[in-house]
Chains A and B, each alone.
Chain A
Amino acid sequence: MDISAFVLFWAAIFTSNILLTNFLGMCSFLSVSREVESSFGLGVAVIFVLTITAGLNWIAYHYLLVPFQIEYLQYIVFIIVIAAFVQLLELIIERYAPALYYSLGIFLPLITVNCAIFGVSLFLVIRDYNFIQSIAFGAGSGIGWLLAILMLAGIRSKLKEKLIPAGLRGAGISLIITGIMALGFVGFSGIVAVQ
Protein backbone atom coordinates (compact mmCIF):
# COMPACT_ATOMS: atom_id res chain seq x y z
CA MET A 1 0.00 0.00 0.00
CA ASP A 2 1.56 3.30 -1.04
CA ILE A 3 -0.65 5.92 0.56
CA SER A 4 1.16 8.67 2.43
CA ALA A 5 0.86 8.44 6.19
CA PHE A 6 -0.54 11.97 6.28
CA VAL A 7 -3.49 11.09 4.04
CA LEU A 8 -4.07 7.93 6.01
CA PHE A 9 -4.20 9.94 9.23
CA TRP A 10 -7.01 12.19 7.95
CA ALA A 11 -8.78 9.30 6.29
CA ALA A 12 -8.83 7.41 9.59
CA ILE A 13 -10.48 10.38 11.30
CA PHE A 14 -13.11 11.24 8.72
CA THR A 15 -13.70 8.94 5.77
CA SER A 16 -13.20 5.62 7.51
CA ASN A 17 -13.97 6.58 11.08
CA ILE A 18 -13.22 3.61 13.28
CA LEU A 19 -16.58 3.82 15.04
CA LEU A 20 -19.01 5.26 12.55
CA THR A 21 -17.98 3.19 9.54
CA ASN A 22 -16.19 0.20 11.05
CA PHE A 23 -18.34 -0.17 14.19
CA LEU A 24 -15.38 -0.73 16.50
CA GLY A 25 -15.40 0.25 20.16
CA MET A 26 -19.20 0.32 20.42
CA CYS A 27 -19.50 -1.18 23.92
CA SER A 28 -17.63 1.52 25.82
CA PHE A 29 -18.95 4.09 23.36
CA LEU A 30 -22.52 3.38 24.45
CA SER A 31 -21.85 2.90 28.15
CA VAL A 32 -19.47 5.81 28.89
CA SER A 33 -21.06 8.49 26.73
CA ARG A 34 -23.41 9.81 29.44
CA GLU A 35 -21.06 12.63 30.54
CA VAL A 36 -18.92 14.83 28.31
CA GLU A 37 -16.04 14.95 30.79
CA SER A 38 -15.64 11.22 31.25
CA SER A 39 -16.01 10.66 27.50
CA PHE A 40 -13.16 13.06 26.93
CA GLY A 41 -10.98 11.24 29.50
CA LEU A 42 -11.64 7.88 27.90
CA GLY A 43 -11.10 9.32 24.42
CA VAL A 44 -7.70 10.73 25.30
CA ALA A 45 -6.66 7.43 26.86
CA VAL A 46 -7.81 5.61 23.72
CA ILE A 47 -5.78 7.91 21.43
CA PHE A 48 -2.65 7.33 23.49
CA VAL A 49 -2.97 3.56 23.82
CA LEU A 50 -4.06 3.13 20.21
CA THR A 51 -1.09 5.03 18.78
CA ILE A 52 1.48 3.16 20.86
CA THR A 53 -0.02 -0.32 20.53
CA ALA A 54 -0.36 0.11 16.76
CA GLY A 55 3.41 0.62 16.65
CA LEU A 56 4.19 -2.15 19.13
CA ASN A 57 1.97 -4.67 17.38
CA TRP A 58 3.46 -3.79 14.01
CA ILE A 59 6.91 -4.52 15.42
CA ALA A 60 5.69 -7.72 17.08
CA TYR A 61 4.09 -8.93 13.86
CA HIS A 62 6.95 -8.16 11.48
CA TYR A 63 9.92 -9.00 13.72
CA LEU A 64 8.50 -11.81 15.84
CA LEU A 65 5.63 -13.58 14.12
CA VAL A 66 6.74 -13.41 10.48
CA PRO A 67 10.37 -14.64 10.97
CA PHE A 68 9.14 -17.61 13.02
CA GLN A 69 6.20 -18.21 10.66
CA ILE A 70 3.65 -18.22 13.45
CA GLU A 71 1.29 -15.57 12.05
CA TYR A 72 -1.71 -17.55 13.25
CA LEU A 73 -0.74 -16.64 16.80
CA GLN A 74 -1.28 -12.94 16.04
CA TYR A 75 -4.51 -12.72 18.06
CA ILE A 76 -2.91 -13.99 21.23
CA VAL A 77 0.25 -11.91 20.80
CA PHE A 78 -1.71 -8.71 20.08
CA ILE A 79 -3.99 -9.19 23.09
CA ILE A 80 -1.03 -9.81 25.39
CA VAL A 81 0.84 -6.77 24.04
CA ILE A 82 -2.20 -4.55 24.57
CA ALA A 83 -2.96 -5.88 28.05
CA ALA A 84 0.67 -5.66 29.14
CA PHE A 85 1.05 -2.14 27.79
CA VAL A 86 -2.09 -0.90 29.51
CA GLN A 87 -1.00 -2.49 32.79
CA LEU A 88 2.44 -0.89 32.50
CA LEU A 89 0.96 2.48 31.65
CA GLU A 90 -1.30 2.26 34.69
CA LEU A 91 1.68 1.59 36.97
CA ILE A 92 3.74 4.44 35.48
CA ILE A 93 0.94 6.99 35.64
CA GLU A 94 0.07 5.98 39.20
CA ARG A 95 3.70 6.41 40.28
CA TYR A 96 4.66 9.63 38.47
CA ALA A 97 1.42 11.51 37.83
CA PRO A 98 -1.09 10.77 40.59
CA ALA A 99 -3.40 13.61 39.52
CA LEU A 100 -3.64 12.23 36.01
CA TYR A 101 -4.16 8.76 37.46
CA TYR A 102 -7.26 9.85 39.34
CA SER A 103 -8.83 11.39 36.25
CA LEU A 104 -7.71 8.80 33.72
CA GLY A 105 -7.00 5.72 35.83
CA ILE A 106 -10.49 4.26 35.94
CA PHE A 107 -10.64 4.21 32.15
CA LEU A 108 -7.47 2.25 31.58
CA PRO A 109 -8.81 -1.23 32.43
CA LEU A 110 -11.78 -0.52 30.15
CA ILE A 111 -9.38 0.00 27.26
CA THR A 112 -8.00 -3.53 27.30
CA VAL A 113 -11.40 -4.82 26.24
CA ASN A 114 -12.10 -2.00 23.80
CA CYS A 115 -12.35 -3.66 20.41
CA ALA A 116 -11.15 -0.50 18.62
CA ILE A 117 -7.62 -1.08 19.94
CA PHE A 118 -7.52 -4.71 18.86
CA GLY A 119 -9.32 -3.96 15.60
CA VAL A 120 -6.77 -1.37 14.53
CA SER A 121 -3.95 -3.86 15.09
CA LEU A 122 -5.77 -6.39 12.91
CA PHE A 123 -6.46 -3.82 10.18
CA LEU A 124 -2.83 -2.84 9.87
CA VAL A 125 -1.84 -6.45 9.31
CA ILE A 126 -4.63 -7.11 6.80
CA ARG A 127 -3.98 -3.89 4.84
CA ASP A 128 -0.23 -4.35 5.01
CA TYR A 129 0.70 -0.89 6.30
CA ASN A 130 4.31 0.04 7.00
CA PHE A 131 5.47 1.27 10.40
CA ILE A 132 4.85 5.00 9.84
CA GLN A 133 1.47 4.33 8.23
CA SER A 134 0.49 2.14 11.19
CA ILE A 135 1.29 4.87 13.71
CA ALA A 136 -0.60 7.46 11.64
CA PHE A 137 -3.55 5.11 11.23
CA GLY A 138 -3.58 4.37 14.98
CA ALA A 139 -3.45 8.05 15.97
CA GLY A 140 -6.08 9.01 13.40
CA SER A 141 -8.42 6.24 14.51
CA GLY A 142 -8.04 7.33 18.12
CA ILE A 143 -8.88 10.94 17.30
CA GLY A 144 -11.83 9.80 15.20
CA TRP A 145 -13.11 7.75 18.12
CA LEU A 146 -12.74 10.70 20.51
CA LEU A 147 -14.64 12.90 18.06
CA ALA A 148 -17.51 10.42 17.81
CA ILE A 149 -17.86 9.82 21.56
CA LEU A 150 -17.68 13.56 22.33
CA MET A 151 -20.45 14.30 19.86
CA LEU A 152 -22.67 11.56 21.25
CA ALA A 153 -22.02 12.64 24.85
CA GLY A 154 -22.85 16.24 23.99
CA ILE A 155 -26.11 15.30 22.31
CA ARG A 156 -27.08 12.85 25.04
CA SER A 157 -26.59 15.44 27.79
CA LYS A 158 -29.10 17.67 25.95
CA LEU A 159 -31.54 14.78 25.64
CA LYS A 160 -31.74 14.01 29.35
CA GLU A 161 -34.83 16.13 29.99
CA LYS A 162 -36.57 15.38 26.69
CA LEU A 163 -39.50 13.05 26.19
CA ILE A 164 -38.37 9.87 24.45
CA PRO A 165 -40.54 6.77 23.84
CA ALA A 166 -39.99 4.42 26.80
CA GLY A 167 -38.72 1.52 24.69
CA LEU A 168 -36.11 3.68 23.01
CA ARG A 169 -34.56 5.13 26.14
CA GLY A 170 -30.88 4.37 26.73
CA ALA A 171 -29.31 2.26 24.01
CA GLY A 172 -32.03 2.71 21.40
CA ILE A 173 -31.86 6.49 21.15
CA SER A 174 -28.05 6.45 21.32
CA LEU A 175 -27.97 4.11 18.33
CA ILE A 176 -30.31 6.36 16.35
CA ILE A 177 -28.13 9.41 17.13
CA THR A 178 -25.05 7.44 16.11
CA GLY A 179 -26.80 6.45 12.89
CA ILE A 180 -27.47 10.10 12.05
CA MET A 181 -23.83 10.95 12.83
CA ALA A 182 -22.70 8.08 10.60
CA LEU A 183 -24.93 9.45 7.86
CA GLY A 184 -23.14 12.79 8.22
CA PHE A 185 -19.75 11.10 7.98
CA VAL A 186 -20.79 9.32 4.79
CA GLY A 187 -20.62 12.81 3.30
CA PHE A 188 -16.86 12.82 3.82
CA SER A 189 -16.38 9.57 1.97
CA GLY A 190 -15.66 11.12 -1.42
CA ILE A 191 -12.68 13.16 -0.20
CA VAL A 192 -10.07 10.43 0.13
CA ALA A 193 -10.42 7.02 -1.43
CA VAL A 194 -8.93 4.95 1.35
CA GLN A 195 -10.76 1.85 2.30
Chain B
Amino acid sequence: MTKKDIFINSAFRENSVWKQILGICSSLAVTNLMLNSLIMGLGVTFSLALANFTISALRTHTPRSVRMMVQTLIIAAYVIIVDVFLQANMPAISKQLGPYVGLIITNCILMGRAEAFAAQNNPIDSFIDGIGSGLGYTLVLLTIAAIRELFGFGSLFGIQILGDWWIRWSIMVMAPSAFFILAIFIWIINNKYYKVKA
Protein backbone atom coordinates (compact mmCIF):
# COMPACT_ATOMS: atom_id res chain seq x y z
CA MET B 1 0.00 0.00 0.00
CA THR B 2 1.19 3.49 -0.79
CA LYS B 3 1.18 6.21 1.84
CA LYS B 4 -1.85 7.83 0.20
CA ASP B 5 -3.76 4.53 0.28
CA ILE B 6 -3.04 4.11 3.98
CA PHE B 7 -4.32 7.60 4.68
CA ILE B 8 -7.54 7.25 2.67
CA ASN B 9 -8.14 3.79 4.09
CA SER B 10 -7.90 4.83 7.71
CA ALA B 11 -9.68 8.16 7.28
CA PHE B 12 -12.62 7.05 5.13
CA ARG B 13 -12.90 3.42 4.02
CA GLU B 14 -12.21 1.97 7.48
CA ASN B 15 -13.24 5.04 9.47
CA SER B 16 -13.12 4.15 13.14
CA VAL B 17 -16.41 5.79 14.08
CA TRP B 18 -18.85 4.90 11.34
CA LYS B 19 -17.32 1.65 10.11
CA GLN B 20 -15.92 0.10 13.29
CA ILE B 21 -18.14 1.89 15.85
CA LEU B 22 -15.19 2.81 18.07
CA GLY B 23 -14.61 5.91 20.16
CA ILE B 24 -18.31 6.66 20.46
CA CYS B 25 -18.08 7.96 24.05
CA SER B 26 -16.23 11.13 23.28
CA SER B 27 -17.76 11.62 19.85
CA LEU B 28 -21.10 12.04 21.61
CA ALA B 29 -20.01 13.93 24.70
CA VAL B 30 -18.09 16.87 23.25
CA THR B 31 -20.16 17.52 20.15
CA ASN B 32 -22.51 20.20 21.47
CA LEU B 33 -20.07 22.92 20.38
CA MET B 34 -17.96 22.92 17.21
CA LEU B 35 -14.94 24.54 18.82
CA ASN B 36 -14.78 21.86 21.54
CA SER B 37 -15.11 19.17 18.89
CA LEU B 38 -12.30 20.62 16.82
CA ILE B 39 -9.95 20.83 19.80
CA MET B 40 -10.90 17.32 20.89
CA GLY B 41 -10.38 15.97 17.35
CA LEU B 42 -6.96 17.59 17.08
CA GLY B 43 -6.03 16.25 20.52
CA VAL B 44 -6.96 12.73 19.47
CA THR B 45 -5.12 13.09 16.14
CA PHE B 46 -1.97 14.30 17.90
CA SER B 47 -1.92 11.52 20.49
CA LEU B 48 -3.00 8.86 18.01
CA ALA B 49 -0.31 9.70 15.44
CA LEU B 50 2.53 9.95 17.95
CA ALA B 51 1.40 6.95 20.00
CA ASN B 52 1.16 4.88 16.81
CA PHE B 53 4.65 6.00 15.83
CA THR B 54 6.13 5.15 19.23
CA ILE B 55 4.34 1.81 19.58
CA SER B 56 5.44 0.83 16.11
CA ALA B 57 9.03 1.87 16.76
CA LEU B 58 9.12 -0.21 19.94
CA ARG B 59 7.13 -3.14 18.57
CA THR B 60 10.07 -5.54 18.27
CA HIS B 61 11.31 -4.73 21.78
CA THR B 62 7.98 -5.18 23.58
CA PRO B 63 7.35 -8.62 25.11
CA ARG B 64 3.92 -9.91 24.07
CA SER B 65 2.75 -10.51 27.63
CA VAL B 66 2.98 -6.86 28.72
CA ARG B 67 2.12 -5.43 25.30
CA MET B 68 -1.24 -3.95 26.32
CA MET B 69 0.17 -2.24 29.39
CA VAL B 70 3.07 -0.74 27.43
CA GLN B 71 0.70 0.55 24.75
CA THR B 72 -1.60 2.10 27.35
CA LEU B 73 1.28 3.86 29.08
CA ILE B 74 2.62 5.24 25.80
CA ILE B 75 -0.85 6.55 24.94
CA ALA B 76 -1.25 8.00 28.43
CA ALA B 77 2.04 9.88 28.12
CA TYR B 78 0.88 11.69 24.97
CA VAL B 79 -2.56 12.38 26.40
CA ILE B 80 -0.94 14.04 29.42
CA ILE B 81 0.93 16.33 27.01
CA VAL B 82 -2.37 17.30 25.34
CA ASP B 83 -4.02 17.86 28.72
CA VAL B 84 -1.22 20.02 30.12
CA PHE B 85 -1.07 22.01 26.88
CA LEU B 86 -4.83 22.70 26.99
CA GLN B 87 -4.73 23.68 30.66
CA ALA B 88 -1.94 26.15 30.01
CA ASN B 89 -3.15 27.68 26.74
CA MET B 90 -6.92 27.23 26.59
CA PRO B 91 -8.11 27.01 30.21
CA ALA B 92 -11.76 27.72 29.33
CA ILE B 93 -11.98 24.88 26.81
CA SER B 94 -9.99 22.57 29.05
CA LYS B 95 -12.59 23.15 31.76
CA GLN B 96 -15.50 22.49 29.41
CA LEU B 97 -13.99 19.28 28.08
CA GLY B 98 -13.44 18.19 31.68
CA PRO B 99 -12.68 14.49 32.01
CA TYR B 100 -13.06 13.82 28.30
CA VAL B 101 -9.48 14.84 27.50
CA GLY B 102 -8.20 12.23 29.96
CA LEU B 103 -10.66 9.76 28.52
CA ILE B 104 -8.75 9.81 25.22
CA ILE B 105 -6.60 7.15 26.92
CA THR B 106 -9.48 4.69 27.09
CA ASN B 107 -10.82 5.77 23.71
CA CYS B 108 -11.09 2.48 21.84
CA ILE B 109 -9.76 4.07 18.63
CA LEU B 110 -6.28 4.46 20.09
CA MET B 111 -5.98 0.91 21.38
CA GLY B 112 -7.70 -0.34 18.24
CA ARG B 113 -5.24 1.31 15.84
CA ALA B 114 -2.28 0.33 18.04
CA GLU B 115 -3.31 -3.33 17.91
CA ALA B 116 -4.59 -3.45 14.35
CA PHE B 117 -1.99 -1.31 12.62
CA ALA B 118 0.97 -0.04 14.65
CA ALA B 119 1.86 -3.47 16.05
CA GLN B 120 2.48 -4.82 12.53
CA ASN B 121 3.70 -1.91 10.45
CA ASN B 122 6.70 0.40 10.29
CA PRO B 123 6.73 3.70 12.23
CA ILE B 124 6.20 6.05 9.25
CA ASP B 125 3.19 4.13 7.93
CA SER B 126 1.77 3.93 11.46
CA PHE B 127 2.18 7.68 11.85
CA ILE B 128 0.23 8.28 8.63
CA ASP B 129 -2.42 5.80 9.75
CA GLY B 130 -2.72 7.73 13.02
CA ILE B 131 -3.16 11.05 11.21
CA GLY B 132 -5.74 9.48 8.90
CA SER B 133 -7.77 7.85 11.67
CA GLY B 134 -7.59 10.99 13.78
CA LEU B 135 -8.80 13.24 10.96
CA GLY B 136 -11.55 10.77 10.08
CA TYR B 137 -12.68 10.96 13.69
CA THR B 138 -12.49 14.76 13.68
CA LEU B 139 -14.62 14.83 10.54
CA VAL B 140 -17.41 12.86 12.24
CA LEU B 141 -17.17 15.03 15.36
CA LEU B 142 -17.42 18.26 13.38
CA THR B 143 -20.37 17.01 11.32
CA ILE B 144 -22.38 16.08 14.41
CA ALA B 145 -21.33 19.26 16.22
CA ALA B 146 -22.35 21.44 13.26
CA ILE B 147 -25.91 20.09 13.40
CA ARG B 148 -26.16 20.27 17.18
CA GLU B 149 -24.68 23.75 17.52
CA LEU B 150 -26.65 25.21 14.62
CA PHE B 151 -30.02 24.01 15.89
CA GLY B 152 -29.20 24.21 19.60
CA PHE B 153 -27.53 27.64 19.74
CA GLY B 154 -28.11 29.06 16.25
CA SER B 155 -24.37 29.48 15.80
CA LEU B 156 -21.31 27.83 14.26
CA PHE B 157 -17.92 28.03 16.02
CA GLY B 158 -19.58 30.52 18.38
CA ILE B 159 -20.49 32.93 15.53
CA GLN B 160 -24.21 33.66 15.44
CA ILE B 161 -25.63 32.40 12.11
CA LEU B 162 -29.36 32.33 12.77
CA GLY B 163 -30.92 35.55 14.07
CA ASP B 164 -33.09 36.29 17.06
CA TRP B 165 -36.13 34.80 15.32
CA TRP B 166 -34.61 31.34 15.76
CA ILE B 167 -36.14 29.41 18.64
CA ARG B 168 -33.34 27.29 20.07
CA TRP B 169 -33.98 23.57 20.18
CA SER B 170 -32.82 22.78 23.68
CA ILE B 171 -33.04 19.04 22.92
CA MET B 172 -30.05 19.50 20.58
CA VAL B 173 -27.88 20.58 23.51
CA MET B 174 -28.92 17.61 25.63
CA ALA B 175 -27.70 14.03 25.52
CA PRO B 176 -30.44 12.25 23.51
CA SER B 177 -29.93 14.25 20.32
CA ALA B 178 -26.31 13.08 20.13
CA PHE B 179 -27.46 9.46 19.96
CA PHE B 180 -30.07 10.20 17.28
CA ILE B 181 -27.78 12.26 15.07
CA LEU B 182 -24.96 9.71 15.21
CA ALA B 183 -27.43 6.92 14.36
CA ILE B 184 -28.82 8.83 11.37
CA PHE B 185 -25.28 9.73 10.28
CA ILE B 186 -24.25 6.06 10.32
CA TRP B 187 -27.43 5.17 8.44
CA ILE B 188 -26.75 7.68 5.66
CA ILE B 189 -23.10 6.64 5.36
CA ASN B 190 -24.07 2.96 5.17
CA ASN B 191 -26.57 3.60 2.41
CA LYS B 192 -24.63 6.11 0.33
CA TYR B 193 -21.02 5.14 0.86
CA TYR B 194 -21.07 1.40 1.37
CA LYS B 195 -24.27 0.86 -0.66
CA VAL B 196 -25.74 -1.56 1.88
CA LYS B 197 -28.71 -3.37 0.33
CA ALA B 198 -31.55 -5.00 2.22
Contact = CB atoms under 8 A, between A and B. Distances in A.
Interface of A: 20-27, 30-31, 72-76, 79, 83, 113-115, 118-119, 122-123, 126, 165-168, 170-173, 175-176, 178-180, 182-183, 186
B175 A167 contact: no
B74 to A, nearest CB: 11
B99 A76 contact: no
Contacts of A76: 73, 76-77, 80
A113 B197 contact: no
Contact of A175 (B183, B190, B198): B183
B6 interface: no
A interface majority secondary structure = helix
Contacts of A75: 76, 79-80, 83, 102, 105
B187 to A, nearest CB: 5
Interface residues of B, number: 44
A171 B21 contact: yes
Nearest to B21: A171
A178 B179 contact: yes
Given A27-B25, A123-B99, A182 B176 contact: yes
Given A25-B25, A113-B108, A179 B79 contact: no
B80 A167 contact: no
A100 B69 CA distance: 26
